[in-house]
Amino acid sequence: MFNLLKLSAITSLTLGGAIFGFFYAWICSTMWGLDATDPRIAIAAMQAMNASVRNAIFAPAFFGTAPIMIITGIIAFSCHKKAAAIMFIAAGIIYFIGGNVLTFSINVQMNEALALVKIPQAIDEAHTIWQAYSQKWQFWNQIRTIASGISLLLIGLAIMQIGQKSEV
């Protein structure tokens, strides 16, 4: 059972790191790059990225992270690693709310609305559309990034706890 815990913990770490990195990359490069370009290009590029992100490579990190963290917590409890279990479960809940729920309730809704936008010819009109979208989207993406970063930190702390003597 302890080997299953280690495997599950490494899987949690890998998925948690992948999703944190995904959200973080939007903060420190992608959105800044789009904000710096012609807003008509930014709208078109964001529409294309939003359409392409629904794929089999992204899905495990986005959808699998919270469940694997919680499963790892349950396994940790069965291995008498209570502190680690609590951290894994907390990480799963934090990511589920701050990653999955927030994404579906805000970012996906914004992305679907942007997908319906016909890119205007007038740059001023495109600028107004892009600015309204980008500022709000980036705020909520920063919240997702913080939540997934906290989850990743908790996973790291939980893995450190696994190496400690068993709790009784």
pLDDT digits (tens, 9 = 90+) for 41-99: 999 999 999 999 999 999 999 999 999 999 999 999 999 999 999 999 999 999 999 99
Distance between the two ends of the chain, CA-based, in angstroms?
16
HEC secondary structure over the chain: CHHHHHHHHHHHHHHHHHHHHHHHHHHHHHHHHHHCCCHHHHHHHHHHHHHHCCCCCCHHHHHHHHHHHHHHHHHHHHCCCHHHHHHHHHHHHHHHHHHHHHHHHHHHHHHHHHHCCCCCCCHHHHHHHHHHHHHHHHHHHHHHHHHHHHHHHHHHHHHHHHCCCCCC
Domain positions in the chain: 2-162
Check if the beta carbon of residue 154 is closer than 8 Å to that of residue 66. no
Question: What tokens appear for 47 in the block?
Answer: 């529409």
Euclidean distance between CA atoms 22 and 18, whole angstroms: 6
Angle at 41 between CA 26 and CA 106, to 5 degrees: 45
Look up residue 122 and give its DSSP letter. S
Given pLDDT bands bounded at 50, 70 and 90, which one contains residue 161?
very high
pLDDT band for position 2 (cuts 50, 70, 90): confident
Please report which confidence band the pLDDT of residue 166 belongs to, taking 50, 70 and 90 as the band edges.
low
